[in-house]
Chain A
């Protein structure tokens, strides 16, 4: 059976619980950032760009068979790793689910600073934009 948004988030929280050391946690995020396909430089479009003060993010949103499908990229690898987690959670979800359900795993795995306005890495804006893209199809 397909995992719910909540189940996906809880699975990530469980994955991260094994790390005592912040460095291990970040190594995992960096690995995720390296693995994710992203959007190659030649395919990036200006309208996809979210210009953070620190790092930049590109976000592409599509709908396929009433399910959202996001791809995204960043020039910073840590940002890209967190993007990988967000995409894993949101991809394949119905637009209504993305709009309505709470996104809590970032807080629980201790990365809330990356979604704070002061971090200015484009991630906060990216989450907002993912929800807005979903809202277009509700």
Chain B
């Protein structure tokens, strides 16, 4: 394939769905910021679990339950190592990023008082806005929004000015799902800690695009979804520092999270189980472990460099299209590009791209306040992953030009 190294082709061949045709045309999958495709290894792991290992975990003395428990806990250890956490009990399995943020907003939020401040940014996904609005209604905390510049970067001066002794938490995205901006989170974490605030990093978009090390970052919470890093849907991770998680009350009540239940008093299980009520997504956790194993097996340096190349190639090609405007022009960007063409509605372009086999996302990308900031109804977003190719970008540009000619 054009301009694609043997190595990338080899990686691509591990993803069976990428060979699919839609409407008789080869699928070009550029919706990786929404979800990534799965390598055969992950799909096989899910099958193997249901074929030969299925049992409930943490409670059976029988063989199958012990095997399943061991595999699930091994996956937890793999997550711990992958993100560089210090301890395995700092890894809480969740349903996904949204679930992780809601857990923190509910449980850590219980420790906040009226008038305490939570800072988010103007480029947050609704998942990192609404849980804090609910907390504001419940506890009377004040939600403040760090503004952004026209190029889609954070206004760091404004951020510094907003930090004060009332700031209890800064909840911010590592990478914008709409603009691709990579935020200077290391600096943000340092500054926030300076006023005694804790920091939650929404890693939904960063987990598949770079190496994350929570210990080096020194963040207090880090959340991500398994399906954005080649794992299954319905599984995610909340990393939290042990000292903080220990002080937080349980999120949900039920099985697994208890030590002893009586009608007078219930005592709670230790970390991480305190935050994992009910039978968890066992196969999800195990297959997420396999997805991380896949990431560990590839040369990520080469893969991430390829992603950056795809971004520059796509931006360069897109800018030759008349009337096309890119939203998010930060120097530090991940491999996604959001744009509009003249006054054409993104839905119209998205519909005609779909008919040509090109899968992109159109709309507000669950960031309506950001769309209001740019005064647009939405954008077309093409987001790339390590298995995409320049040849696919050429197909995309060709299809885009065809769509524009029909709509103009």
Residues of A within 8 A of B (CB): 22-23, 26-27, 30, 53-56, 75-79, 120-121
The A-contacting residues of B in range 338-365, CB under 8 angstroms, are 344-348, 350-352, 355, 362-364
| A23-B406, A53-B364, A54-B362 known; A78 vs B347 contact (CB < 8 Å) | yes
B23 interfacial by beta-carbon distance below 8 Å? yes
| A residues less than 8 Å from B348 (CB atoms) | 30, 76-78
21 of the cross-chain contacts (CB-CB < 8 Å) are A22-B23, A22-B355, A23-B402, A23-B406, A26-B352, A27-B406, A30-B348, A30-B407, A53-B363, A54-B346, A54-B378, A55-B347, A55-B377, A76-B347, A76-B348, A77-B348, A77-B407, A78-B351, A79-B347, A120-B363, A121-B347
Distance between Cα atoms of A57 and B219 in the complex (Å): 43
Residues of B within 8 A of A (CB): 23, 344-348, 350-352, 355, 362-364, 377-378, 402, 406-407
Whether A30 lies near B406 (C-beta < 8 A) is: yes
Residue of A22, A23, A54 touching B347 (CB-CB under 8 A)? A54
Q: B233 CB to closest chain A CB, in angstroms? A: 15
Whether B406 lies near A56 (C-beta < 8 A) is: no
Q: B396 CB to closest chain A CB, in angstroms? A: 17
Residue of A27, A53, A77 touching B345 (CB-CB under 8 A)? A77
| B residues less than 8 Å from A54 (CB atoms) | 346-347, 350, 362-363, 378
> Which residue on chain A has the smallest CB distance to residue B402?
A23
Whether A23 lies near B355 (C-beta < 8 A) is: yes
Distance between Cα atoms of A27 and B405 in the complex (Å): 10
Which 4 A-B pairs rank lowest in CB-CB distance, beginning with the nearest?
Answer: A76-B345, A76-B347, A54-B347, A55-B347
Q: B408 CB to closest chain A CB, in angstroms? A: 10
| A residues less than 8 Å from B352 (CB atoms) | 23, 26, 78
Distance between Cα atoms of A22 and B402 in the complex (Å): 13
> Which residue on chain B has the smallest CB distance to residue A27?
B406
Distance between Cα atoms of A122 and B315 in the complex (Å): 31
| B residues less than 8 Å from A23 (CB atoms) | 352, 355, 402, 406
Distance between Cα atoms of A78 and B407 in the complex (Å): 9
Q: A26 CB to closest chain B CB, in angstroms? A: 6
Q: A66 CB to closest chain B CB, in angstroms? A: 36
Whether B351 lies near A75 (C-beta < 8 A) is: no
Q: A129 CB to closest chain B CB, in angstroms? A: 19
Q: B150 CB to closest chain A CB, in angstroms? A: 23
> Which residue on chain B has the smallest CB distance to residue A52?
B347
Distance between Cα atoms of A56 and B363 in the complex (Å): 11
Q: B346 CB to closest chain A CB, in angstroms? A: 8
Q: B165 CB to closest chain A CB, in angstroms? A: 40
| B residues less than 8 Å from A56 (CB atoms) | 377
Whether B355 lies near A75 (C-beta < 8 A) is: no
| B residues less than 8 Å from A120 (CB atoms) | 363
| A residues less than 8 Å from B407 (CB atoms) | 30, 77
Distance between Cα atoms of A77 and B23 in the complex (Å): 22
Residue of A22, A30, A75 touching B377 (CB-CB under 8 A)? A75
Q: B390 CB to closest chain A CB, in angstroms? A: 25
Distance between Cα atoms of A26 and B347 in the complex (Å): 13
Distance between Cα atoms of A38 and B344 in the complex (Å): 17
| A residues less than 8 Å from B364 (CB atoms) | 53
Distance between Cα atoms of A23 and B407 in the complex (Å): 11
| A22-B23, A78-B351 known; A55 vs B345 contact (CB < 8 Å) | yes
Q: Name the residue in B346, B351, B362, B378 with the highest tally of chain A Cβ atoms < 10 Å from its Cβ.
A: B351
| A residues less than 8 Å from B347 (CB atoms) | 54-55, 76, 78-79, 121
Given contacts A75-B377, A76-B345, 9 further A-B contacts (CB under 8 A): A22-B23, A23-B352, A23-B402, A26-B351, A30-B348, A30-B407, A54-B362, A54-B363, A121-B347
Distance between Cα atoms of A26 and B345 in the complex (Å): 15
| A residues less than 8 Å from B363 (CB atoms) | 53-54, 120
> Which residue on chain A has the smallest CB distance to residue B377?
A75
Distance between Cα atoms of A88 and B326 in the complex (Å): 38
Q: A79 CB to closest chain B CB, in angstroms? A: 7
Distance between Cα atoms of A4 and B189 in the complex (Å): 68
Distance between Cα atoms of A56 and B378 in the complex (Å): 11
Distance between Cα atoms of A30 and B407 in the complex (Å): 7
| B residues less than 8 Å from A53 (CB atoms) | 363-364
> Which residue on chain B has the smallest CB distance to residue A56?
B377
Distance between Cα atoms of A58 and B192 in the complex (Å): 45
Distance between Cα atoms of A55 and B363 in the complex (Å): 8
Q: A112 CB to closest chain B CB, in angstroms? A: 14
Distance between Cα atoms of A72 and B278 in the complex (Å): 49
> Which residue on chain A has the smallest CB distance to residue B363?
A54
Distance between Cα atoms of A121 and B363 in the complex (Å): 10
